Amino acid sequence: MVVTRFAPSPTGYLHIGGLRTALFSYLWAKKNGGEFVLRIEDTDKARNSQEATDAILKAFEWLGLDHDGEITYQSQRDEIYAKYIKQLLDEGKAYKCYMSKEELTELRETQMANKERTKYNGKYRDFDGTPPEGVEPVIRIKAPLTGEILVKDGVKGNVSFQAQDILDDFVIARADGAPTYNFVVAIDDHLMGITEVIRGDDHLSNTPKQIVVYEALGFDVPAFNHVPMIHNSEGKKLSKRDGATDVMAYKEMGYTPQALLNFLVRLGWSHGDQEIFSMQEMIELFDPKDINKSASIYNTEKLDWLNAHYIKNTSNTELAQLLTEYDLVLTSHDKKEILLDAVKERAKTLKDMAELAKEMLTTPTSYDEKAVKKAFKDDSIAIINAFGAKVSASKELHLPSDYHHLMESVVKEMEIGFGKIGQPLRIALLGKMSGPGLDVVMAVIGRDETMLRIANAITANS
156 is in an annotated binding site: no
Catalytic, 335? Answer no
Angle, vertex CA 150, rays to CA 8 and CA 139, nearest 5: 60
Q: Which of 286, 264, 247 has its CA nearest to residue 21? A: 264
SS3 content of the chain, % helix, strand, coil (to 5): 50, 10, 40
3-class DSSP state of 142: coil
d(CA 159, CA 293) in angstroms, rounded, equals 13
Q: Which of 80, 42, 45 has its CA nearest to residue 187? A: 80
Query: Cβ atoms within 10 A of the Cβ of 33, count?
Result: 8
d(CA 342, CA 327) in angstroms, rounded, equals 18
Q: Which of 415, 406, 433 has its CA nearest to residue 379? A: 415
CA atoms within 13 A on the CB side of 92: 3
d(CA 345, CA 122) in angstroms, rounded, equals 67
d(CA 372, CA 375) in angstroms, rounded, equals 5
Q: Which of 324, 265, 371, 184 has its CA nearest to residue 19? A: 265
Nearby residues of 168 by Cβ (< 8 Å), 6 or more positions away = 119, 120, 121, 122, 143
Exposed/middle/buried for 355, CB within 10 Å: 0-12, 13-18, 19+? middle
Of the candidates 83, 236, 240, 293, the residue annotated as catalytic is: 240
Instruction: Just list the catalytic residues.
Output: 240
Known binding positions for ATP: 240
